[in-house]
């Protein structure tokens, strides 16, 4: 599962962008017929308005798979009889078979990289952190692998088991306007800032109960945006040794002067104390290898990091005079 939800108006549409000197099409499937068997479903309608159940602008659909396409800029030789036979024709020579297999392998890797880039852009711009990660679970197990059962110790007799449930984790539905906005981002060739990658990673680690990994990834996300903003205040320095000294400036000292480094907070005020607390948790973990912190404290730290990175990124875009793609996305619809 992709963890992707779109409106009916977006089904069947595509994104087009350049990746590794190739033109890539990412194509969404059309709506699967209601009588399709479960294993044949490429989409599933999950929401609609009772007064307009078939309005494509208001229906919501879960997308299970997408198609990636690109052109191969070379000619590949194969026996003409192959086109009237099933794929992987017996009429291909050994040399042709080797070339075709190698080409398929090379382009599978290329398309995998393009798919990862497309997902990263969606996680960055739309804030859809579920994109590209397992989105369905069965029972209470976060990995969706089993249902817990209780057995009596004396004779191992089963006395209780979990209520079966299916949970689908999806972000808000991508409307047609927002889908077109993502196309503009892809066409711009702007790369997702690395701090968004680490924030997405932190959320996935939290869902997997990896609280130590959550703290580390969230702290790295904050550190990368803090140091990137700090460098905007430093005149051009060409000497690598001097740059190294500047880059080793204590992180929490920079954060202590954050209002001077980043300027006014785009909304409200900077929650520096919460980020300091996150770094304290990270430092304790890195120095001792242990973290005696409950899930509620980790969740609060992750929420603070997510909000800080989002606001700091807005300030960073303003300072560099570059598009705030996530902010423009949120302003739509």
CATH number of the CATH domain containing 294? 1.20.120
Does residue 86 register a pLDDT over 80?
A: no
**Residue matched to tokens 């494509």:** 56
Its domain, for residue 304, covers: 193-333
Give how many domains the chain has, as a whole number. 2
Question: Averaged over 72-82, what is the pLDDT?
Answer: 76
Strands 136-138 and 166-168: antiparallel
Note whether 279 and 318 are same-domain residues.
yes
Cα–Cα separations (whole angstroms), residue 25 to 14, 17, 71, 137, 195:
6, 7, 10, 30, 27
Question: Averaged over 165-183, what is the pLDDT?
Answer: 78
Note whether 303 and 320 are same-domain residues.
yes
Note whether 222 and 82 are same-domain residues.
no
Note whether 242 and 328 are same-domain residues.
yes
Cα 332 to Cα 7: distance, rounded to the nearest angstrom: 14
Q: Is residue 11 part of a domain?
A: yes
pLDDT number for residue 269: 93
Note whether 229 and 85 are same-domain residues.
no
Note whether 212 and 332 are same-domain residues.
yes
Cα–Cα separations (whole angstroms), residue 45 to 64, 92, 100, 236, 237:
11, 43, 38, 54, 55
Does residue 331 register a pLDDT over 50?
A: yes
E strands, 156-246, in order: 158-161, 166-168
**Higher pLDDT pick, 200 / 88:** 200
Cα 139 to Cα 135: distance, rounded to the nearest angstrom: 13
Q: Is residue 70 part of a domain?
A: yes
Note whether 130 and 212 are same-domain residues.
no
Q: Is residue 55 part of a domain?
A: yes
Does residue 169 register a pLDDT over 70?
A: no
Q: Is residue 151 part of a domain?
A: no
Note whether 59 and 74 are same-domain residues.
yes
Taking only the tens place, the pLDDT of each residue in 204-261 is: 888 878 899 999 999 999 999 999 999 998 877 777 787 787 778 888 899 999 999 9
Q: Is residue 218 part of a domain?
A: yes
Note whether 178 and 240 are same-domain residues.
no
| Buried b / exposed e along 77-107 (16+ C-beta atoms within 10 A) | eeeeebeeeeeebeebeeebeebbeeeeeeb
Cα 225 to Cα 278: distance, rounded to the nearest angstrom: 15
pLDDT number for residue 145: 44
């Amino acid at each position: 599962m992709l963890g992707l939800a779109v409106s009916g108006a977006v089904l069947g549409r595509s994104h087009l962008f350049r990746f590794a000197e190739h033109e890539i099409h990412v194509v969404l499937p059309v709506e699967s017929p209601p009588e399709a068997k479960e294993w044949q479903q490429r989409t599933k309608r999950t929401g609609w308005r009772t007064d307009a159940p078939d309005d494509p602008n208001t229906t919501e659909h879960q997308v299970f798979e997408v198609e990636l396409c690109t052109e191969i800029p070379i000619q590949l030789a194969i026996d003409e009889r192959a086109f009237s036979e099933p794929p992987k024709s017996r009429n291909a020579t050994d040399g042709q078979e080797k070339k075709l297999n190698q080409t398929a392998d090379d382009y599978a890797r290329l398309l995998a990289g393009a798919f990862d880039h497309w997902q990263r852009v969606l996680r960055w711009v739309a804030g859809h952190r579920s994109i590209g990660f397992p989105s369905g679970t069965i029972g209470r197990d976060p990995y969706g692998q089993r249902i817990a059962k209780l057995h009596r110790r004396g004779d191992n007799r089963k006395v209780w088991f979990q209520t079966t449930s299916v949970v689908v984790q999806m972000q808000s539905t991508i409307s047609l306007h927002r889908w077109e906005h993502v196309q503009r981002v892809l066409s711009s060739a702007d790369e997702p800032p690395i701090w968004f990658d680490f924030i997405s990673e932190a959320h996935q680690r939290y869902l997997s109960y990896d609280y130590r990994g959550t703290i580390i990834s969230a702290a790295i996300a904050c550190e990368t945006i803090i140091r990137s903003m700090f460098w905007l205040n430093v005149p051009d320095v060409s000497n690598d040794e001097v740059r190294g000294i500047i880059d080793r400036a204590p992180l929490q000292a920079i954060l202590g002067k954050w209002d001077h480094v980043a300027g006014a907070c785009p909304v409200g005020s900077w929650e520096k104390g919460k980020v300091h607390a996150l770094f304290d948790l990270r430092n304790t973990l890195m120095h001792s290898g242990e973290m005696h912190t409950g899930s509620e404290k980790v969740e609060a730290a992750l929420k603070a990091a997510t909000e800080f990175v989002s606001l700091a990124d807005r300030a960073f875009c303003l300072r560099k005079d570059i598009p705030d793609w996530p902010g423009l996305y949120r302003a739509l619809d």
